[in-house]
Structure 1
Amino acid sequence: MVSKESHLKHSSHEEDDDEAFAYALQLSTCHIFSIALNAAVELKLFVIVAGAGTVISVAEITFRLVPTAEANPDAAAMLDRLLSLLVSHSLLTCSAHTLEDGSSERLYGLAPAGKYFVENDEEKGSLAPMVPLAFHRATFGIM
């Protein structure tokens, strides 16, 4: 018969192992977020979302990025994935909105930490100009 204490130790060990795996996975992919953040800054997504005032849909953002949307018919779907990643890191907010036809769309807003990536914000300053520096040739040459 397995004691309750033995079962709890086993469960705790599995949870610790799961947490360790999740942390290792996070470390092995952390560069991906930096690349995504750089893309968001280059596309001026934080500026677009901040300029909307409250919230904005992917369709509206894609419309404002007309050259990108014309070049790639999947731009809206790709943009939605990028925005979702920024939401998962608390740089943007996301809420669902039901349309007249019954379908739903996501609406994105600027989260408190996201405001620091809005370019030309004289009140708070901006980290946006620093993000591309991490991907400059000279920076990679140092590493």
Structure 2
Amino acid sequence: MRQDHRQAGQGESPVQPQTKKPRRTAALRLRVTQEERRSIVAAADAAGMGICSFARVTVLRAVGQVPVDPPARRQMPTEAQRSLGTFLGQLGRIGNNANQVARKLNSGLAVEQSILADIRDELRHLRQAVLDELGEGGCQ
């Protein structure tokens, strides 16, 4: 096992051992009506938490305990972030197609020109979609 021989006060502080979080191994099951569920979901969303995290934190506080590590507030992706995710997915598919073409070419096989044209068209379409999303227009 490696030990840190640096002295405190000589540049960096000694390495502190990490404390383990208690593992949550016990489960509770709860039945509610559809109306109650909608209310719980709305309250969880308002608190920026998922349903289970919201329920755990709420119940622990109700019995006088402080949750060990309350979850961080969940941030919903912006429209731009959702669009970027779509574009990245499309780019990944195009990259996969291009990789298959490159593999064929490297192995000495011929590639149909229509496949190359499809990849080129997909890239143009994606480029235009990105420019439109950014509000820069562009031309095809």
Query: What interval of TM-score do these two structures reach, taking the shorter chain for normalisation?
Result: under 0.3
Structure with more contact order per residue of length (Cα contacts < 8 Å, sep ≥ 6): 1
Question: Radius of gyration: which is bigger?
Answer: 2
**Structure with greater strand share of residues:** 1
Please report the TM-score for the alignment, with normalisation by the length of structure 1: 0.26
